[in-house]
A and B are shown apart, each in its own frame.
Chain A
Amino acid sequence: MRALVAGRAEGPTVVLDEGLSLWGGFDPATGCIVDRSHPQHGECLTGAIVWMPHGRGSSSSSSVLAESIRLGTGPAGIVLAEPDHILVIGSLVADFLYGVTCPIWVADSPEWPAGR
């Protein structure tokens, strides 16, 4: 695994079957997935290591990630299959403003855990 945003994180593993747009798909107030068309609609990501194949959609996802990190409802860390600088900048800005890190890594497919 390669770190896009360095740091240490611990938490239960959540493997998303599809990409997720945090904006419009994730509620920072609750930490849960609200995209009705997402296979894991309703699942909560707070404190988890979230394996996400890729980002999706909105460029506001960085704002939503930063807000969830501020509120303490965000993931503990994120693992992607491909780099996504929308999520990277959200994590970097939360660190800059609040000193809280949500590390982000990229993992090749052999490292990917099996889905649910």
Chain B
Amino acid sequence: MFLDDRDRAMLGGEHGEAAAIAMRLIVAAADAIDAPELLDISSAHVDSCLYHGQAGLDFAERLARAGGQVVVPTTLNVSSLDLLHPELNRGHPETAAKARRLMDCYVQMGCRPTWTCAPYQLADRPALGDQIAWGESNAIVFANSVLGARTERYGDFFDICCALTGRAPAIGLHTDPGRRATLGVRLDVPGDWLDDDLLYVALGHVLGRVAGTEVAVIIGLDERADEDRLKALGAAAASSGAVGMFHAVGVTPEGPTVAAATGGARLERTVSVDPSRLRQAIHELGSSAESLGAVSIGTPHASLRELETLAGLCLGRRTRVPFFVNTGRDVLAAAGSTTAAIEEFGATFVTDTCNYLTPMTDRQGGAVMTNSGKWAYYAPANIGVDVVMGSLVDCVESAVAGTVLNTGWAT
């Protein structure tokens, strides 16, 4: 692999011990995946701040002790702790203390304490063509697909190494050929289905299953696929598969046409997604429940617009079950008085983390309803709950009734 003078200087320790460690790891990993060289990045999003055990803390403490400082603007993903609402944390105190030390290490290295899995909702998000290094699977697929910024699917450790060096392997989704669609996904449903939020979750779940690691181009969406719906689609696809990017004809910036998405090449295969496949997706994620124990929305973190919609739905009403709204601290601050209707409804805001990552609630009987494919995918194994899918409207109506109410095509 070609290394320039600055890369070699970093390897040799001229930019400090932490940069040398980071560069050694980047070079070893880049060699493994046959990258020809490294490229400059303009920002990073670090997922490594979420506590998964001693190994992650050992690595962060090693880098911080070595004087590590990020050299590009770097945001931080969700952590294991809600610092704004510490009374919600129910985890073991020793684990919580280590999780806090991990968070402190990354702040010490110059990362911004944004604590959100939706950094694309922040004001200074990347733009079309920017080379970046992001962790967090849903953020990666959003950055590539919706923003047109360019990042590989960086894992924990890789993200901070890129941030400490400002460099990333010039391969895969960083390059034009790596962003070309090879798979077509043709949506074949009645037009009014595109008005339903759950359609995008179900489509994302199917996309992950059929695409694996391939870049797909979706045919059949239109301007109703707004950023919140594309967020839901991408998050579901990056859970059921290893999707790092998709195009949607007429919707995403690099896919105005199928030909633009494929770079003029023929699609290697095209799959059709019909109503029965979408119903099956919802069934796989969780479609029936005896009783309702709680509701959880905001995975990935709820946007300002989603909070405004929720506030309208809850106004003057009251939930009968615990109702969790995960969102970023910056979005919550920007929401201002919008939050009042949601709090009077009886909902609990969760910031800085997500309520499927960490024990937050005393165990409730009954299933948890969510509008998130990602939450539905991971919560059963992470926190041992049964899940039932519903749209945002279903979530609010079910919470008010205290029982599972499903409307629409998914039932």
Contacts and interface: CB of A to CB of B under 8 A. Distances in A.
Interface of A: 4-5, 19, 21, 23-25, 28, 34-37, 53-64, 66-67, 69-71, 82-90, 92-94, 96-98, 104
Contacts of A55: 213, 242
A82 to B, nearest CB: 7
A57 B56 contact: no
Interface stretch (B3-11, B27-35, B295-303, B344-352): B27-35
Interface in B17-53: 21, 25, 28-29, 32-34, 47-48, 50, 52-53
Given A24-B378, A92-B29, A60 B240 contact: no
A16 B112 CA distance: 39
Nearest to A64: B52
A67 B242 contact: no
B53 A70 contact: yes
B256 interface: no
B200 interface: no
A96 B158 contact: no
Q: Tell me the dominant secondary structure on chain B's binding face.
A: helix
A59 B140 CA distance: 9
Contacts of B212: 19, 53-54, 56
A62 B380 contact: no
A89 B157 contact: yes
11 contacts: A19-B212, A24-B382, A57-B208, A59-B136, A62-B156, A63-B52, A67-B52, A82-B213, A87-B155, A89-B29, A96-B25
Contacts, number: 141
B59 A66 contact: yes
B381 A36 contact: yes
B381 A97 contact: no
B155 A85 contact: yes
B118 to A, nearest CB: 14
Q: Which 7 A-B pairs give the minimum distances between C-beta atoms?
A: A86-B155, A62-B155, A67-B53, A4-B32, A66-B55, A63-B52, A63-B156
Given A19-B242, A57-B377, 5 more contacts: A67-B55, A70-B54, A83-B33, A88-B29, A97-B58
Contacts of B180: none
B62 interface: yes
Contacts of B284: 37
Contacts of A83: 32-34
B178 to A, nearest CB: 12
Interface in B267-310: 284
Contacts of A59: 47, 135-137, 140, 153-156, 159
B356 to A, nearest CB: 9
Contacts of B239: 21, 57-58
Interface in B142-184: 152-159, 161, 169
A29 to B, nearest CB: 9
A69 B378 CA distance: 22
A88 B213 CA distance: 16
B25 A89 contact: yes
Contacts of B208: 57
Contact of B52 (A56, A60, A82, A88): A60
A85 B242 CA distance: 12
Interface centre among A54, A58, A64, A97 (most CB of B within 10 A): A58
Contacts of B378: 24, 58
Contacts of A94: 55
Contact of A35 (B53, B155, B242, B381): B381
B411 to A, nearest CB: 21
A8 to B, nearest CB: 17
A97 B157 contact: no
Nearest to B134: A59
B381 A34 contact: yes
A99 B70 CA distance: 26
Contact of A90 (B34, B157, B242): B157
A69 B54 CA distance: 11
B59 A97 contact: yes
